[in-house]
Amino acid sequence: MKQIKGTVRKSEIEGGIWVLETKKGDVYQLKDGPVDLYQNGKHVNIRGKVRKDILGIGMVGPIFEVHEVS
């Protein structure tokens, strides 16, 4: 599993998608995870995996399937 630290943001692309932006500027489109993860501006540490076998409609970055949030 991969661990990423960053800020949750709502992007208005295609009607709205949730992404995680890291300090380095990497952007991941979020998939799954608890409801309270999805708050614009929330700073989080998440664990999960980068899904290379699926694509998102936002095309902002790789899909990150969330397994844990801290």
pTM: 0.90
Query: CB-based burial of residue 63 (10 Å sphere; 0-12 exposed, 13-18 middle, 19+ buried)?
Result: buried
**pLDDT per position as a tens digit, 55-67:** 877 778 899 999 9
**pLDDT per position as a tens digit, 9-38:** 998 877 789 999 999 999 999 999 999 999
pLDDT at 59: 77
Q: In whole angstroms, give the CA distance from residue 66 to residue 34.
A: 8
Average pLDDT over all residues of the chain: 93
Write the DSSP string, 2-13. EEEEEEEEEE-G
Q: Judging by DSSP bridges, how do beta strands 27-31 and 43-51 pair with one another?
A: unpaired
pLDDT at 40: 96
What's the fold here for domain 2-69? OB fold (Dihydrolipoamide Acetyltransferase, E2P) (2.40.50)
Residue 48 CA, chain-centre distance (Å), reads 10
